[in-house]
Every structure is written in C-alpha cells, then in structure tokens.
Chains A and B, each alone.
Chain A
C-alpha cells in the first residue's frame, strides 16, 4: 500500500538516534548562517516532531468512522468544508493531547538545544551545563532551575491530563 509506505518513510526519520544526525544538521544551519538562532531551533524541532505528530494524529483520525466521511459527502460538504466543520472539531481532543505531548518532549529536549542553539539562544535544558564555574558546580542554582523547569510540564499535564490518558490508553 502506498499510504503505508509513505507513512513508514516518515517514521524512519525517527529511527536514527539524534546523535547520528545532530552534526550534519548543525553544519546545515552554519552553512545558511542561521546557527544559534530561534529560527534554526524552531525549524529543527518542527521537522523532528512531524513523525510523532503524524503517528499520533493518524490514530485519532482512524478512530473517526468512515461513514461520517460518507455522510458528509452525501450532505454535500466539499473537502475543505468537511475538514473544517467535521474533522477538526472531532479531532479536538486528539489535537490537544498531541500538542501537549509534543510540547513535553521538546521542553525536555537537550541535544539539539545545546548544539543547534546554545549560545545566544538558550533553552532551560541547555542552560544547565553552563552552571559550572571551573571546578565548582552551582548545585543550589541547579536545583532551583530544576524545580522551576518542571513547573510548566506539571501545569500542562494537569490541564491536558484527560486527553493524555486517552492517548496512552489507546
């Protein structure tokens, strides 16, 4: 099946460990003169989240009965109208869960944050290794950042818990 093959190719993006691809990616951004910018980090993250996002959302789309699609065609919906009026509302919970999950992964992401950015643009994970002054590690600051850094995911998890549980139950 063509669908399955393209889906598989998409998923292979995730098969290599990030270590294997981080160096070429950094050299790309250096080549374009965009290394260590928000732009570079955002695009890297976006592209690397696509497989997971597609996989999760495909699951939610598959849950919608085919007959809904047929009914919409019989009712006279055009493709885009059906997408907007039927599909998106029905996917609401799934989109929320996926957003939350992808956000959590990226919030905790370290390697790309450190290598693609990490100088001018620093995420909280990439900031942690910088908390060393010579031989001394600033454990107090380290611990404080750990606490602060875990507040947003906790808030997200509480807000989206209903959807995320559904996602794991699937």
Chain B
C-alpha cells in the first residue's frame, strides 16, 4: 500500500501538452480523488500512475522507489476502466481469473481466490455468465473483482460511475467506500463528478487544463477554493458570481456591487485590487419568509423554480446579467414573476481577484 509521489511530471501527446509540471503526493491507504472536467488530463494522470504511459519528464515514486519505467504488473496496480473493459468472450469467472491465470497460480488457488472476491462483491451467482448477460452494476462488480483478485497495492478507478444508473451509482459509491476501509489499499478515483469527490475522497486533487489547481480535503476546498474555476466546479450547484468594486470613502472602506453595499475591514489586499469578483454559493442564500436572521437581503423576480428531489433551485432576476441561484432545502413552487426576498450572511462571500482569478479572502475575514 505505497505512498505515491509524482515529481514534476510532464506529458504531451502528438506535440500537444496534456500534463504540465504535476506534483502530487498520494498518502498511504487513502481514498484519493482526482477531480476534473473532461479533457483536463485526469485520465492521462491515471494512465501514468498505472504505468500504461511513460511521462516525457519527471518521476513517479511508489514508497520512494522509482517506478517511472515499470509496467503495471511490476507496479502491482489494478485498474477499473470507465467502460469496464471486460473481455466479452470470457465468462465473469474467467474475466476475474485472468490476471491469476497469467501469473501461473494453480487451478485450486485460482478458484479459491475468485470465489472469495466474488462472494465479497456479491456476484457469486453470476460467475458463469458472459458480460453481455450482466447488468451495469454487475459488470462494474466483475471489473472491480478482477482488479481486487490479484491483491494489488493500488486500485485506480477511471470514471467508474459514469455508465451506471443513478440508483446503482449510489450503491456502488457506498460499496467503494466500504471496500477501501475494509481492505485498506490505496484507492485512486478519477472522476468528473464533484459529488463523487465530495462523498468519497479523503483527499481531493482538482485538475484542469493539465495543471493541478488545488489539493485538499473536501472542507478545505469548499471553504477556500483556490480560484474561480475551483469555486465554480466544486459544489453541488454552481456558485453565483457578480462583479464588485472596493473603494474608500472617508475612513470607511466600502464594497459596492450592483445589488448591495458592504462596509469592510482588513482590506489591504482588496483595496490594492479595486475591482473584485464576488462569489456566493446558492446554499448560502435563504428565503426571508422562512425566517429573518439579519443578513443582507435582496429582492428578485422568480424566473424558474427547479425542483430536484426534496430541494428546489430558484433562479431569481435581481438585476444581474445572470439569474441568481438560490438553493431552498424544500419543495417550493411559486408563479413565475413572483417577487421573492432572499438574504445571506456576508461572511459567506468569496472574493476573487479579477486579474488572476485567485481567491483573495472569505467574507468572514474582512467584514466588520
């Protein structure tokens, strides 16, 4: 169960840079999430760690040992691919057994180990079926079984939930969590779904355009997103953004936006910047009619109320170029055009620089 370290890894494909200067430390026995939108380079990162590709430059270390040039087998990694990559002409049993057959174990030993892992993953009754006869969840279990059976040190999963139905996806998430805690191997999950990362990752690395933008646990990233991209991406519902400017009036420092004004403290950095981008999470807004708490209130006309399960996302026209999204933790249906008052605690605001899109401060740090 090695500690995996990537040092200054660079990889390009047909002259196009895919990964640039990747430094990453994946601790022992962790469930590590690599989160990024499609084409961000996360699959290439997975392939490099797995040993399916060799980096152009840089090193990959497993427990301090340089494995950059070693094959997947020598690294003792197992991979569950996005499309499961089961051999269609072999039964589930033969699929699971394939890494063992190659390593030359005896027949009895193979049967014993396949049956053990199949029982653990609850697919014992499906072992004689071909992949074409199995459901999505079962295919995934077979793919995981094939990865686990060889007792690898590292299990890599490439977008494992994308091909599954909503319900099965939840089951498999829970299963993966249980599995990692049970076996204690290094599990690296590559995903483009922030929800996977939030519900599973002990640690999360966010990657975009071939660069690691931020590494941290879910609270860290949620509370202090490194930049606008991370803030936008890492959340259940996309963050609201609005431009604002910081200026001095007498002894006071004020923040002015189209829809509200605020008095600030501790603003050295903000004053330097002048113009800022303000982020406000939909879940930090609440409807005043459910109870006032004395935050900043806004009024807007309802454009759309989108009910998702037991929650509702309100799209409000508050006079910004884009509708303001508000997450209401219950089913809330009103006519289009209804005026709704919402409020938020200014301490929940995020301030980003307009120059480099980096986070400057949270509301809590600078509001007097």
Contact = CB atoms under 8 A, between A and B. Distances in A.
Interface stretch (A9-17, A19-27, A53-61, A71-79): A71-79
B82 A73 contact: no
B310 interface: no
Contacts of B73: 74-76
Interface in A18-49: none
A90 B81 contact: no
A76 B81 contact: no
Nearest to B14: A1
A2 to B, nearest CB: 12
Given A86-B87, A90-B89, A73 B71 contact: yes
Nearest to A69: B85
Identify which of A67, A72, A86 gathers the most chain B CB atoms within 10 Å of its CB: A67
B81 A70 contact: yes
A76 B85 contact: no
Identify which of B72, B78, B150 gathers the most chain A CB atoms within 10 Å of its CB: B72
A68 interface: yes
B98 A65 contact: no
B99 interface: yes
Given A73-B52, A74-B50, A74-B52, A68 B99 contact: no
Given A73-B71, A90-B89, A81 B102 contact: yes
B75 to A, nearest CB: 10
Given A65-B83, A67-B81, A76 B89 contact: no
A73 B82 CA distance: 16
Nearest to A77: B102
Contacts of B98: 75
A70 B77 CA distance: 12
Contact of B102 (A65, A71, A75, A89): A75
Interface string B64-106: 0000000111000111011101111100000000110011000
B103 A71 contact: no
Interface in B169-193: none
A70 B102 contact: no
A67 B52 contact: no
Contacts of A89: 89
Contact of B77 (A74, A77, A81): A74
B146 interface: yes
Interface residues of A, number: 16
Contacts of B99: 74-76
A76 B47 CA distance: 15
Given A73-B52, A74-B50, A74-B79, A67 B102 contact: no
Interface residues of B, number: 23
B52 A70 contact: yes
Main SS of chain A's interface residues?
A: helix
Contacts of B81: 67, 70-71
Contact of B88 (A73, A74, A90): A90
A87 B150 CA distance: 22
B151 to A, nearest CB: 13
Interface string B28-65: 00000000000000000001001010000000000000
Contacts of B146: 71, 75
A67 B71 CA distance: 16
Contacts of B82: 67
A67 B143 CA distance: 12
Contacts of A74: 50, 52, 72-73, 77-79, 99
Given A70-B52, A71-B81, A76 B88 contact: no
B99 to A, nearest CB: 4
Contacts of B83: 65, 67
A144 to B, nearest CB: 44
Contacts of B102: 75-77, 81
A65 B85 CA distance: 8
Interface string A75-108: 1110001000010011010000000000000000
B87 A68 contact: yes
A81 B103 CA distance: 12
A81 to B, nearest CB: 7
Contact of A70 (B85, B89, B103, B150): B85
A76 B103 contact: yes
A74 B83 CA distance: 15
Interface of A: 65, 67-68, 70-77, 81, 86, 89-90, 92
Given A67-B83, A75-B98, A89-B89, 17 more contacts: A70-B79, A71-B81, A71-B85, A72-B87, A74-B50, A74-B52, A74-B72, A74-B73, A74-B99, A75-B99, A76-B72, A76-B99, A76-B103, A77-B102, A81-B102, A90-B87, A90-B89
12 contacts: A65-B83, A65-B85, A67-B83, A70-B47, A71-B79, A71-B81, A74-B50, A74-B79, A74-B99, A75-B98, A75-B146, A76-B99
List 6 A-B pairs, minimum CB-CB distance, nearest first: A67-B85, A71-B85, A76-B73, A75-B99, A67-B81, A74-B72
